[in-house]
Amino acid sequence: MRANNLRAFAATLAAIAIIAGLTACGAGAAAGTGVFSQVKTKSRALKDTGDEAAQAPPISESGFAFSLGQKLLADAPEADNFVYSPLSVWLPLAALANATDAEHRLALLAALGAAGVSEAQLNEYAQTLLYRVAGEGNKKYSPGYISPLKIANALFVSRHEKARQKFAQTFADSYLGAMFNVDFASQEAADAVNSWASEHTEGLIDRIIESFDPGTVAAIANAIYYSDRWDLEFDAEETQPDAFHATGGDIAADYMKREDDSLRYYEDERAQAVSLGFKNGGSLWIILPKAGTANSLLEGMDADYFNEMRDSSRLAMGKLLLPKFEAESELSLGGALAAIGVPLFDGAAAPLTGGLLESDTPVWISEALQKAVIKVDEKGTTAAAVTLVVMATGMPHAAQPDEPFEMVCDRPFAFVLENYGQILFAGVVNAPAEAR
């Protein structure tokens, strides 16, 4: 795995991923007595394993990010805004690679963009990824540094089951995961998971699940929250209302303006793109199609095209008109994940059996959901997302213009939020916030 492979997963808003709900017919040793209690697991300090990771084959989470986005967008209404967090899905699935049986593990690694990588190498990579995107290196040299990105992982296990020690320790060491025992038959279990989600997204995502099936045996969760100001904020006094040519007809939107500023800019026959940087690192790419819809633009994008856009962009003077916008999506991920090769949805094979729990309870993913939100205004960007995976048991280089550019985002456009090369969020804006 090359060091620059950590620059391939872009789009930063805020995300919570909860992989939840292993339904069971059997019961193992009791792992807790209350409805909700934390299990103390000692973890190693997070570190940059770059030198060790460099010995591994390359990992392409950005390939996973765009492949997942293509499948999700295929079912998304073209008149609606759309946002998802690929990193919030990738991290829990990477952790579950440690619980997947040998027959299905290679297919899971390939779907994650990690073909040819061992479990140990994947875990080292995840640890390095978390170290870098969380700004741990910056904290060494700037003790007062506060990262705009917060990531949390948690494993919720039925009080009637016990997590396999090897998985629990790896989850704590490489994914900084906390572990909790819950009574999934009680409404308080869902309340506890929702409370955890709200806590780790600053209240942006306060509900991921209404209730658990009483047979649920485990839920794995990831939360990502991102909030930062632009390195050069828009002047609110220059924000003006104007028409936005939405898919469903013109609406009034409030346009922010940047003019006579140097911005990182890219243009080819497909689109115009501009990168808006944040104070503490990372950027939001705004991508305006020259023809067709924003959905088809993002649906047709892959890691190679995004990398070309980012690497071939240059500083240029010009004018940008961008509407303030918000996007919120509730997505069913199961069909898309299965379509890109994630093999954990096979109830007959139950590929997570024996790897996640001490008992031989058959385990597989029966459902996967995500909720994501992003808000963009003159000051900056805030984003969050939640992914819920329920696990059940039993049967069932383009030339750049020399002239100053003008980019007027008065029709649907796509966006990608990245931090340290990791794609945190991506989506499309078909109808921005209406002018006030």
**What integer pLDDT is reported at residue 15 of this predicted model?**
40
Residues with Cβ < 8 Å from 142, sequence gap 6 or more? none
How deeply is 84 buried, as exposed, middle or buried, from its count of CB atoms within 10 A (0-12, 13-18, 19+)? buried
String of b and e for 334-348 (b: at least 16 CB within 10 Å)? Answer: bebbbebebbbbebe
**What integer pLDDT is reported at residue 79 of this predicted model?**
87
Q: For each of the domains in the chain, give its residue range(s) and CATH number, in order of start.
A: 3-229+327-392 (3.30.497.10), 236-325+400-429 (2.30.39.10)
Query: Mean pLDDT over residues 260-265, rounded?
Result: 88
pLDDT at 33 exceeding the cut of 80: no
**Residue scoring higher pLDDT (230 or 45):** 230
**What integer pLDDT is reported at residue 420 of this predicted model?**
80
pLDDT in tens, 278-319: 998 889 999 999 999 999 999 999 999 999 999 999 999 999
Angle between helix 119-133 and helix 165-175 axes, rounded to 10 deg = 30
The residue type at 271 = A
Query: Mean pLDDT over residues 358-376, rounded?
Result: 90
pLDDT at 386 exceeding the cut of 60: yes
- Asked whether 374 and 427 are in contact (CB, 8 A), the reply is yes
Query: Mean pLDDT over residues 96-123, rounded?
Result: 95
What's the CA gap between 393 and 332, in Å, rounded?
20
Give the other-Cβ count within 10 Å of 415's Cβ.
29
**What integer pLDDT is reported at residue 391 of this predicted model?**
74
Q: How confident is the model at residue 262 (pLDDT cuts 50, 70, 90)?
A: confident
Round the CA-based radius of gyration of the chain to a whole number and report it. 22
**What integer pLDDT is reported at residue 393 of this predicted model?**
66
pLDDT in tens, 206-225: 999 988 887 788 888 999 99
Query: Mean pLDDT over residues 60-68, rounded?
Result: 93
**What integer pLDDT is reported at residue 77 of this predicted model?**
87
pLDDT at 324 exceeding the cut of 90: yes
What percentage of residues in the chain have a pLDDT greater than 70? 83
Q: What secondary structure does DSSP assign to 210-262, as a single string?
A: S---TTB-EEEEEEEEEEEEBSS---GGG-EEEEEEETTEEEEEEEEEEEEEE
Distance set, CA 241 to CA 79, 206, 248, 269, 324 (Å)? 21, 32, 18, 29, 10
pLDDT at 7 exceeding the cut of 70: no
For residue 428, give the nearest of 77, 127, 144 by alpha carbon: 77
**What integer pLDDT is reported at residue 170 of this predicted model?**
96
Give the other-Cβ count within 10 Å of 300's Cβ.
14
Query: Mean pLDDT over residues 2-22, rounded?
Result: 41
Query: Mean pLDDT over residues 334-343, rounded?
Result: 95
Average pLDDT, the chain: 85
What's the CA gap between 22 and 219, in Å, rounded?
7
pLDDT at 10 exceeding the cut of 70: no
Query: Mean pLDDT over residues 33-42, rounded?
Result: 56
Q: How confident is the model at residue 261 (pLDDT cuts 50, 70, 90)?
A: confident
For tokens 């995976």, name the residue.
389
For residue 412, give the nearest of 276, 250, 235, 275 by alpha carbon: 250
**What integer pLDDT is reported at residue 416 of this predicted model?**
95
**What integer pLDDT is reported at residue 57 of this predicted model?**
67
pLDDT at 43 exceeding the cut of 70: no
DSSP letter at 436 equals -
**Bridge partner residues of 434 (DSSP):** 253
